Amino acid sequence: MSTYLPYLVSVICAAIAGFTSYAVARKQAKADLQKLEKQHELDIEKERELFTMQKEKMEIEHRHQLELAQKEMENNLGASLTNTLLTEAMKMPEVRQQISQGMKSNTKKHR
């Protein structure tokens, strides 16, 4: 037994060192995992805020484009309506007669 005693002491010291290293590494890994989880939570929250801001920006741009399109449509409708009314009015013989009389009287005044 005395011949194996130095080996036995070495094996016991190595086993204690191995278990200690394992426990420390496990504790460090757990701490690192918690840090990573916290960082991922912060990153996700940051991405959510960024998404919300981009969504609001797109909604504002969309509303602005709709307003511009509506104003353009109103302008086109007003111009189109005026053109249509004038075209229809010019088809009426009474209106043509009044316009020609007005032009004749206007040229007489300027002479």
Distance between CA atoms of 9 and 69, rounded to whole angstroms?
Answer: 88
Which of these, 67, 48, 46, lies nearest to 56 by C-alpha position? 48
What is the reported pTM? 0.50
**Cα 54 to the center of its chain, rounded Å:** 3
Q: Coil, helix or strand for 29?
A: helix
Predicted local distance difference test score (pLDDT) of residue 96: 75
H-helix or E-strand containing 44? Answer: helix 5-91
User: Contact 90/96 with Cβ under 8 angstroms?
Assistant: yes
The values of phi and psi at residue 2, to 5°, are -65, -25
Predicted local distance difference test score (pLDDT) of residue 77: 66
Predicted local distance difference test score (pLDDT) of residue 72: 83
* pLDDT single digits (tens) 38-94: 999 999 999 999 999 999 999 999 999 999 988 887 777 666 667 777 777 777 788
- The listed range with the strongest mean pLDDT (7-16, 45-54, 86-95, 97-106) is 45-54
For the chain, what is the domain count? 1
Full domain range(s) for residue 62: 5-110
H-helix or E-strand containing 108? Answer: helix 93-110
